Amino acid sequence: MTKGHIIFLNGTSSSGKSTIAKALQERLSEPYMHFAVDGLFHLYPERILKPTSQEELMVLKQLIPSIVSGLHRSAAALAEAGNNLIVDHVLEKEAWLKECVELWAGLDTLFVGVKCPLHILEQREAERGDRAPGLAKLQYERVHVHGVYDVEVDTSILDVDECVTQIVESLEKGLSSGAFSQLRLKSDE
């Protein structure tokens, strides 16, 4: 059985990952699933996702590690079974990236940094209205600290089509898995 490919989009909330993922699905000749961490959260009922007390907030916070780890493990299983994936993620913790690198060993993974300056992220966040104020700022200093990608796109400079073109060109050049190989070597040290 042929393994699937993973296009791994990492960036803060409101950076444009979901928009890029949908455009990639349309542009790529092979079918790709859009597998987003937000989608897994929304499998829970509204009462869990919109806590009204400190106790309910703690329940949600306790679910985060298992949801994120479930995404990583599910993505590995889906790709191993031959499915192509666009993983839409916010790598807030170093351990999350390490888990992806370990679980996705042997899978062709194009690691894409979706970047945007903080002031634009905050503007987008306010315009969206469906994100907690300050979420992008909280994530901003965390998601790109590892500093290694196969390709980076800046959604403040490039439009969606230009971002998608850069990603597709990287796939066509066979540039995937270089970043994950480097990260794997780094973690073995």
- pLDDT tens digits, 150-183: 999 999 999 999 999 999 999 998 866 789 988 8
pLDDT at 132 over 80: no
Residue tagged 């916070």 (tokens): 61
Distance between CA atoms of residues 121 and 95, nearest Å: 24
Question: What value does the mean pLDDT take over residues 132-154?
Answer: 87
- Quick one: which of 130, 80, 133 has its CA closest to 108? 80
CB of 114 closer than 8 Å to CB of 15: yes
State pTM to two decimals.
Answer: 0.92
Instruction: Please state which of the ranges 47-56, 96-105, 130-139 shows the lowest mean pLDDT.
Output: 130-139
User: CATH code for 6-188?
Assistant: 3.40.50.300
Residues contacting 68, CB < 8 A, separation 6+: 37, 96
- pLDDT tens digits, 60-102: 889 999 999 999 999 999 999 999 999 999 999 999 999 999 9
Q: In what order do the strands lie in the sheet with 6-10?
A: 33-36, 85-89, 6-10, 109-115, 151-154
